[in-house]
Structure 1
């Protein structure tokens, strides 16, 4: 069973309402140029809304709907002319037998050729003629001629270059007689003539995946769209995450001031271009539950099954007022199936929808694609168990619970893996004690009294680490979630999620890494003595040791003086640069109220990755501006002053 991650053909989230609103807006303003933005985070369902919009508009005989995927043209030298040329050629392709369309398109394509030649030549038509081209211009000339003539550089002759310059000059010369505004006005006028020739009342261009493009491509595409802003009978529907487009504007125009009144220049740019924005809202708990249930039932029965269609109709009716909905329950499924006893796949959908809703709503922030990917990951892991012949040892609800931890609290999951590998029969006593402590409390979020687990767990190190997780609210809520894990052999689940841990050699390997962590918690001399062993560690083992040391440091909860283990973390990040981001994460975890001045300069030489170093500099600036710890503020300010003076 696999859930398709492409634009859905079945509207499980009632996004058709958004698409219908966009269509109505376009049809109600047929003469007015229009740009509509369909906004949402990555995976929110923008492409699905655009597909529904296209399907609805394709039924209109006098409306021509074109689809343009900006990402598909990533890497083109001039994305601005690509989108214009694509629109013209697509109209020509859809009216292949019309002489009027061919003539109108030819005039427009000549203007596009002028734009391309002007960009490619960059004044070469004039400078080459004087015999005084610059070295850069010579390179531009050869590159332009290669593309235009379809030859390799070594195959170009003097006659080729001279002919190319003459033809380029021929394209540029008529434009000299027009001002740039006149040229743009002529383009818009001739484009309307093309629409008349094609007998099109309204042209709708749907632009998708713009937020996946590099900033240069995104801005070039938007600039091309801007050319059509005053062309009557044209509408653009743009699917993009506003935050990514604002980022593209800032990257492309780095000299812009940070803001203009209450709104940034980047936001102003977007709002001037997009006249009507629609934002796809994140899923709430009821919608998430409904979505999980529908996905699983569709996978079990098929999209065309009459029972699924009946359930889908009930879900759409329920989602009309999501603030009143509780999601699909057993009564809704029984009504759709027509009997009290639910089919196995449908019953599983009901159970998972109930169990996963709260965690997935928070963990994915109501993102449909993230929900779908989680379910796919779970189904794939179960399929691995089936293929290996031990699916009977895997309960889907337990598997789902463990994948929740892996996806949304990975550090805890890694700790859990170590416990399972080292435990007798894969049943960690620590998890049994943890569950009993949480489930005996009045509420899962109630903190566990200090020392509760210390008295129950034999090894002090294990107890200290578990105490740290015992006071993590997310982990407490997770451990309270049904089904319980106590007494369950968790090795099959770990094998289908992280079988590399099994390959480490069980308890002996875990013991070896713990011994290394002990050394990294020691003196500076001990840390230096462990450098060679740290260097030999494979990536997963280095991550494991890093987590052991990190949690031990955080477990001490004493940062007035530089705690033991800091040097060990720095050594691990130095030998394994992929851990630099995690070292930065540790620096952010330190409680500033309790931190001594040592923190200001502890990691100065630790970051070689440019992006991580930039984020560390930002962190230093935040420490210098905070007021909860004056000593740390003064030490950080002094450290930054010294850095600037170097």
Structure 2
């Protein structure tokens, strides 16, 4: 079979080659693997030396390409011929994959690299066949047997044990509320049940009543209550319950529906009913067979008579089916002494889309009768999606209107009804959390029931663990956040003091100001503040909730995503991508221009390239040094971020129509939870530059970008090695140009020492140049530079120089005598900051500087819990914190280097502020 597929692919490639210039003119895509299925090879085959043949086709113009093996199996396999191939226009070729130096199992990719783009094919090296064939099934069997024995033992122990569950309380079930539909009315819907039953009994058939509602709103319970009313008040109506979900793979839904009708009405033993049912089965089979055999176009041309006979036979079978269906339903009603059949159809939205439309059409075609009423309990969105999937973009609502004569939307619970229902579910132990649950839970009965069950379980565990200062309301708050706001819950897991932060923000907000937090978190914290108090730290509750059952998702089919999957991305024409690149270049240029400012006022940076002596360097020379990879190293304030932004802007200005475009991204913007560098950058482009994800993925995968990545030093140390390795893999795989900024690292750093990356250490600017610039600024205000005693090297920092030359208020306050500039400037700036914050700012700056020195950090985040504690000790809380940080920045002490990340504008300032003479 594989030989046949390869042969067919090569024949197709030959045909493409015959098309020649037509393919090239059409702008076809680059070379790709003919077969995209994962390629599997066993260790036995590697050991035997048998090569593996892989076909490559090239529908576009002639091109040279390389084939590489990436991933864990890079040393287990090798590509013959050094992996370099030449592909003719519209041609095809075969490559040979053989055993590498180290044979082992694992996964990886075959990567095809050409100027026109990249192609990938997954490759897997598996253990020997005998191991897969015998040991893996045996292991699975042993696991199943041991699991069954463990379950039996626990079941038996549970049955035999009659001790108390927790402490001395009597044994009782943990989950007190069943998730099954309820026949009794607990939601004040009995009036609806009575009226719908009256409608089913008295309306003129044919009639389909649609009971529409989202998952968990009580559709099934309402239908059960309607059925109970029919049973009690309308004895002349026969009623049956049909669940199509277990029958969705039986092809035609008519026959299983009829079998359910016969079984529920207890008519299966009546011979006339069974005979009619057999006849209907035969007719349905004949109808399906006749319509599926059909005639093709050639048959119609040869024999119009044969075509007419086939269509006549189909029409005849349909007529017979309709007659027998009428007979069966009539016989069933006569046998039961009823005048009308009411059929309840539930959970249709759980079926596959084609089965949904098949049953809807069966109701219209075969059960549109004067003695049948149907109830259809279903969520509307899956129905609309199924109709659109089959019939395209025609109005799906109009289609449903033809099927459903009476649409009924499930009523929304009022606030009083919701509270009454919630109150009925609460046990005494969790009742103190009822007001919080009323705030945070959606008005969905099933969601409420499942949440209460989880809360009961976790409350029992918390009491058994004897959590200190335990409050079930706090536990409920953490569970509500987990289920209602997953992103905020992730933040709370990393910083368990966030609820206290929100409380402080609420307390310090001005009148009419709403703190910038998620509404759910604001509502929960607002309630806790006024009623119970907000704990400083919820870590014990977070640890408890980690073991909680995951939130239940709606049953039924997953909603179809409105966005494309990654397997569908990157299929854009070159013209479209050129337009996207043009838009992206403009947005990148605007961002880096904000960082650079007026470039004519900037001094040439002093840079040490590799091991050469440091010297001022021009942008053009630095661009020439940047061949594949470039790493800019430097301490905070030396100007490496501004230099990276200048290089980005210069590349944009010099880019030709077919050149790749540089993108400036901070490492903090990359989502390292994604699988690889390709997805990191794709999502970052979407978030930072508002590029549609399909276009972003196409730009990344086709090699249209140059990467300028700022702030590797801001990455958490545990993630650094993974990120660096992924960068090196991507650069080796694609040859992309990558620039990274990082603080000065010790020797043997894997990135800075990699041969593909030139190392450039940014040392600031020449002190003679910066001194002359400051001299001019001072002279314009009648001050001589000699009045300032500055340590050597102070003015090498371009950032500190920018502060001194742009914020000139300090010059007016200089004393007439000569001063030690760093201590004087630090004291002056603290006084300026205190004017907006108050005297505590001096102690805060001292503690903050000491914290950075002790932790050996150069930057701090205003989101860091320890930094927040420093501000709290200085009596600055909540929304006062960003105001204090703004005052420090305006006073010329700190600068923002990334969102919510700051550093002191000069290391000497940091050293002075951390000293004992600066504390109170």
Give the corresponding residue for 1:110. Answer: 279
Asked whether the equivalents of residues 382 and 394 of structure 1 are also in contact (C-alpha less than 8 Å), the reply is: no
Give the corresponding residue for 2:355. Answer: 217
Give the corresponding residue for 2:373. Answer: 235
Give the corresponding residue for 1:23. Answer: 197
Q: Distance in 2 between matches of 1:371 and 1:291?
A: 9
Q: Of residues 457, 477, 492 in structure 1, which corresponds to 2:523?
A: 477
Matches within 5 A, 1:40-59: 40-59=213-232
- The two structures, once aligned, show a CA RMSD in angstroms of 4.0
Following superposition, the deviation at residue 117 of structure 1 comes to: 3.9
Matches within 5 A, 1:131-170: none
**1:390–1:589 Cα change, 3 Å:** farther
Q: Of residues 49, 66, 71 in structure 1, which corresponds to 2:245?
A: 71
Asked whether the equivalents of residues 194 and 226 of structure 2 are also in contact (C-alpha less than 8 Å), the reply is: yes
Asked whether the equivalents of residues 398 and 485 of structure 1 are also in contact (C-alpha less than 8 Å), the reply is: no
Asked whether the equivalents of residues 500 and 535 of structure 2 are also in contact (C-alpha less than 8 Å), the reply is: yes
3-state SS, counterpart of residue 42 of structure 1? coil
Matches within 5 A, 1:363-402: 364=442, 366-387=443-464, 389-390=465-466, 393-402=469-478
Q: Of residues 438, 463, 472 in structure 2, which corresponds to 1:357?
A: 438
**1:175–1:196 Cα change, 3 Å:** farther
Asked whether the equivalents of residues 84 and 224 of structure 1 are also in contact (C-alpha less than 8 Å), the reply is: no
3-state SS, counterpart of residue 7 of structure 1? coil
Asked whether the equivalents of residues 561 and 598 of structure 1 are also in contact (C-alpha less than 8 Å), the reply is: no
Following superposition, the deviation at residue 250 of structure 1 comes to: 1.4
For residues 518-550 of structure 1, the C-alpha deviation after alignment (integer angstroms, 9 at most, x for no partner) is xxxxx99799xxxxxxxxxxxxxxxxxxxxxxx
3-state SS, counterpart of residue 480 of structure 2? helix
Q: Distance in 2 between matches of 1:284 and 1:576?
A: 49
Report whether the alignment pairs 1:291 with 2:421. Answer: yes
Following superposition, the deviation at residue 489 of structure 1 comes to: 4.9
Following superposition, the deviation at residue 203 of structure 1 comes to: 1.0
Matches within 5 A, 1:231-630: 231-253=369-391, 256=392, 258-259=393-394, 264=395, 266-296=396-426, 300=427, 344-345=428-429, 348-349=430-431, 351-360=432-441, 364=442, 366-387=443-464, 389-390=465-466, 393-420=469-496, 428=497, 431-441=499-509, 446-448=513-515, 470-482=516-528, 486-498=534-546, 562-565=664-667, 568-569=670-671, 572-575=673-676, 595=689, 602-604=696-698
Structure 1 residue ranges without an equivalent (≥5): 133-171, 301-343, 421-427, 449-469, 501-522, 528-559, 609-646
Higher helix share: 1
3-state SS, counterpart of residue 14 of structure 1? coil
Q: Distance in 1 between matches of 2:245 and 2:677?
A: 34
Following superposition, the deviation at residue 217 of structure 1 comes to: 1.7
Q: Distance in 1 between matches of 2:332 and 2:315?
A: 23
Following superposition, the deviation at residue 186 of structure 1 comes to: 5.0
Following superposition, the deviation at residue 275 of structure 1 comes to: 0.7
Following superposition, the deviation at residue 218 of structure 1 comes to: 1.3
Following superposition, the deviation at residue 410 of structure 1 comes to: 1.5
Considering only CA atoms, is the larger Rg found in Structure 1 or Structure 2? 2
Q: Distance in 2 between matches of 1:587 and 1:497?
A: 34
**1:447–1:232 Cα change, 3 Å:** closer
Following superposition, the deviation at residue 280 of structure 1 comes to: 0.5
Moved more, 79-88 or 64-73: 79-88
Q: Distance in 2 between matches of 1:598 and 1:49?
A: 44
**1:411–1:115 Cα change, 3 Å:** same
**1:393–1:604 Cα change, 3 Å:** farther
Asked whether the equivalents of residues 345 and 375 of structure 2 are also in contact (C-alpha less than 8 Å), the reply is: yes
3-state SS, counterpart of residue 446 of structure 1? coil
Higher strand share: 2
**1:369–1:599 Cα change, 3 Å:** closer
Following superposition, the deviation at residue 177 of structure 1 comes to: 8.8
Following superposition, the deviation at residue 24 of structure 1 comes to: 0.7
Asked whether the equivalents of residues 35 and 236 of structure 1 are also in contact (C-alpha less than 8 Å), the reply is: yes
**1:223–1:84 Cα change, 3 Å:** farther
- TM-score w.r.t. length of structure 2: 0.40
Q: Distance in 1 between matches of 2:259 and 2:415?
A: 45
Q: Of residues 328, 331, 341 in structure 2, which corresponds to 1:203?
A: 341
3-state SS, counterpart of residue 13 of structure 1? coil
Q: Distance in 1 between matches of 2:397 and 2:208?
A: 16
Asked whether the equivalents of residues 65 and 204 of structure 1 are also in contact (C-alpha less than 8 Å), the reply is: yes
Give the corresponding residue for 2:574. Answer: none
Asked whether the equivalents of residues 197 and 230 of structure 2 are also in contact (C-alpha less than 8 Å), the reply is: yes
- TM-score w.r.t. length of structure 1: 0.55
Asked whether the equivalents of residues 279 and 324 of structure 2 are also in contact (C-alpha less than 8 Å), the reply is: no
Structure 2 residue ranges without an equivalent (≥5): 1-173, 300-309, 549-625, 632-661, 703-920
**1:526–1:113 Cα change, 3 Å:** farther
**1:602–1:447 Cα change, 3 Å:** farther
Q: Distance in 2 between matches of 1:217 and 1:596?
A: 39
For residues 272-325 of structure 1, the C-alpha deviation after alignment (integer angstroms, 9 at most, x for no partner) is 1111111112334333222211221xxx4xxxxxxxxxxxxxxxxxxxxxxxxx
Q: Distance in 2 between matches of 1:576 and 1:499?
A: 32
Moved more, 101-110 or 45-54: 101-110
Following superposition, the deviation at residue 178 of structure 1 comes to: 2.9
Q: Distance in 2 between matches of 1:177 and 1:447?
A: 69
Following superposition, the deviation at residue 380 of structure 1 comes to: 2.1
**1:607–1:359 Cα change, 3 Å:** farther
**1:373–1:597 Cα change, 3 Å:** closer
Asked whether the equivalents of residues 439 and 480 of structure 1 are also in contact (C-alpha less than 8 Å), the reply is: no
**1:589–1:279 Cα change, 3 Å:** farther
